[in-house]
Amino acid sequence: MSTEKKQSLPVVTLAAIGVVYGDIGTSPLYTLRECFSDNYGIAMRPDAVFGFLSLIFWMLILIVSLKYLLYVMRADDTGEGGIMTLMSLAGRNTLPKTTTWIVVLGLIGSGFFYGDVVITPAISVISAMEGLVIVEPTCEAYIVPASIVVITLLFMIQKHGTGSVGKLFAPVMLVWFVTLALLGARSIIAYPEILQALNPKWAMGFFAEFKKLSFFALGAVVLSITGVEALYADMGHFGKVPIRLAWFSVVLPALVLNYFGQGALLLRHPAAIANPFFLLAPGWALIPLLVLAALATIIASQAVISGVFSLTRQAVRLGYLPPMRIIYTSEVEAGQIYVPVINWILYIAVVLVILVARHSTNLAAAYGIAVTGTMLLTSVLVTWVAVKNWHWNRLLVSLILVILLIIDVPMFAANALKLFSGGWLPLTLGLVMFSIMTTWKSERFRLIRRMNAHGNSLEAMIASLEKHPPVRVPGTAVFMSRGINVIPFSLLHNLKHNKVLHERVILLTLRTEHTPYVHNVRRVVIEQLSPTFWRVVARYGWHEKPNMLEVFHRCGLEGLSCQIMETSFFMSKESLILAKRPWYLILRGKLFLYLSRNALRSAEEFEIPPNRLVELGTQIEI
């Protein structure tokens, strides 16, 4: 399913540079400057500069190179990656009670991602716009307006898809990384002693020297690896080999050179701490660098926006979010989608964050807690996959987990200290999304159980209808059913009110499998229940879009010929009433009612022609 099967390795690797590494590639704009901010109280001394650079370098090696590229990316499902994929994999071959905890961890990680995606565009674009002050100090008042203009344009173009815009991503980001490397190398040549920071003794000496302050400073160092989840989440689009090749051949060397170049500049000119990234460039290059930085941050923002669209689609298909309008912006690439509701909610949130924060330093205080939270949960889930799915030696896996936790737990704890200085924002957003996902899943399950509580047997009802048939009318009727062995509400109400039945009746169930894709040979299963009743089960992966025309085409190939424009579709339309329940469940019930009223109707979700649809209303107390 990956792109690497369709195009040559160099082409896909170049594309991966443009999309996958946008976020982590723009971290040099603000990371080293934040390390010496007043929030951490570490003076800009040579040993501190060497210590920070050593920590950043080994973070890139241990977290990005070893943990994600070599370990976590082994956990793929038909080539797909991401926190929900990991949740799906970890939930297999486990007991129901354990599966529940795995789902909770996966949903918390997904919530963290939603919280993080609000901060990323804001901090990236503001950091780039702050270069205006270096060009012209009087331009400081224009930083926030310029940032909002860029963000507005970015979200407005989402509806057109990333296909044509995406062609510019790879060349621009390649130029960006080459520029990072050249600027850094230029500074390193002037002060080659900075390369001593490659020695891990400087990182260990940093903790010994600054003690408690060094723990707090981890909250700034982690900014260098924000966006690392994109390596895993975008695996299905590009494949493992191109992502790994892009990192080791281009991205990692460019980042290391730039960070070390900034460090060399600070040791030569301590006053450059005002903005070490832009001050790396000669005066004549400031304006071109500012334009390039703006483009790079737009691309970085585009990557996380596309990521949240994909995560939303996965959550909808797995039943953790209500059905919503999802527009496929490409006829050949399923990964290019646009979710209008999420797009504009995200836009409003990002603009509000920019207006409140007004400076990248203020946003840096909120950044990191969601990233490290997701990293910590990823470590736990991938360990479970290694034991249960890969059957690795438990002792070896336990050792790997301990090593990962030694790194992840202190980073998460250090960022958790940012809770009252801005970290509450992504956590609050994550909590809201977690509450929405768990509410929709649990209340929807309660609703379906309530609808199926009539106690009637499907087999007995069909036998009775065949033996004592009501008035039969010509044509085919399709009754949408949520369960395989339950009587559709729409069938009961049709018999109750219309007292007729079509000559041929199909009970259709659309199921989402816990895999990204379902092979066409397994797409449709047909079972004849009686001379005039058929059961059809259509299976789709969570990465796929259900399509009624395809279902009918597959039915025709299996011998059940149907013409969609000669078929009547019957669906139930529930009017929900909140029953008496404990006080702590009332708010959850009201949230579910609100989500249900605003959810996409099933007919639109499955692309059923409106003139072939009959909806039968029913009132249900939940």
pTM of this structure: 0.81
Residue 256 CA, distance from chain mean position: 27
Residue 6 pLDDT greater than 60, yes or no:
no
Distance of CA 64 to the CA centre of its chain: 18
pLDDT score for 254: 97
Cα–Cα distance measured from residue 237 to residue 6, given in angstroms and rounded to the nearest whole number: 11
Residue 346 has pLDDT above 60, yes or no: yes
Q: Which two tokens stand for residue 313?
A: 């689609």
β-pairing, 567-577 vs 613-621, is parallel
| Distance between first and last Cα of the chain | 41
**Bridge partners, 613 (sequence order):** 569
Average predicted confidence (pLDDT) for the chain: 85
Say what the pLDDT of residue 62 is: 94
Q: Is 50 exceeded by the pLDDT of residue 304? A: yes
**DSSP β-ladder status, 500-513 and 471-480:** parallel
Q: What is the pLDDT of residues 356-408, one digit of tens each?
A: 888 877 777 677 788 888 899 999 999 999 998 899 999 999 999 999 999 99
Contact status, residue 77 vs residue 515, Cβ threshold 8 Å: yes
Q: What pLDDT band is residue 620 in, cutting at 50, 70 and 90?
A: confident
By 3-state DSSP, what share of the chain in percent is helix, strand and coil, each rounded to 5?
Answer: 70, 10, 20
Alpha carbon 115 to its chain centroid, in Å, reads 11
Q: Which residue has the tokens 């070896």?
A: 396
Angle (CA) 233-236-238 rounded to 5° is: 100
pLDDT tier at 155, thresholds 50, 70, 90: confident
d(CA 609, CA 549): 10
Backbone φ and ψ for 91, nearest 5 degrees, come out as -80, -5
Pairing assessment for the beta strands 524-528 and 500-513 based on DSSP bridges: unpaired
Rounded Cα gap, residues 566 and 279, in angstroms: 70
Instruction: Give the pLDDT score at 455.
Output: 57
Q: Are 39 and 319 in contact (CB under 8 A)?
A: no
Residue 251: predicted pLDDT: 95
Answer for the pair 166, 337: CB distance below 8 angstroms, yes or no. no
pLDDT at residue 487 in the model: 83
Is residue 4 predicted with pLDDT exceeding 50?
Answer: no
pLDDT score at 469? 87
**Alpha-carbon span 252 to 596, nearest angstrom:** 46
Give pLDDT tens digits for 130-147: 888 887 777 888 888 988
Please report the sign of the dihedral spanned by the C-alpha atoms of residue 217, residue 219, residue 220, residue 226.
positive
At residue 615 the predicted structure's pLDDT band, cuts being 50, 70 and 90, is: confident
The pLDDT of residue 334 is 52
Taking the C-alpha atoms of residue 189 and residue 95, their distance in angstroms, rounded to an integer, is 59
SS3 sequence of 363-428: HHCCCCHHHHHHHHHHHHHHHHHHHHCCCCCHHHHHHHHHHHHHHHHHHHHHHHCCHHHCCHHHHH
Dist. CA 164–CA 156, nearest whole Å: 15
Q: What is the pLDDT of residue 1?
A: 41
| 343 vs 564: CA distance, rounded Å | 33
Residue 452: strand, helix, or coil: coil
Task: Give the start-to-end residue ranges of the domains of the chain.
Answer: 3-116+163-282+358-442, 455-621
Q: pLDDT for 100-119, tens place per residue? A: 888 888 899 888 888 888 88
Identify the DSSP state of 515: S
Give the distance from CA 279 to its chain's centroid.
Answer: 34
- pLDDT tens sequence across 453-501: 655 678 888 888 888 888 999 889 999 887 777 888 888 888 888 889 9
**Could you give the CA distance from residue 319 to residue 312 in angstroms, rounded to a whole number?**
10
What six digits make up the tokens of 214? 């060094």
Instruction: Judge whether 228 and 302 are in contact, CB under 8 Å.
Output: no
**Given this model, what pLDDT does residue 453 score?**
64
Determine the residue type at 245. L
List all residues 6 or more positions away from 293 whose beta carbon is below 8 Å from its beta carbon.
26, 29, 127, 128, 131, 176, 278
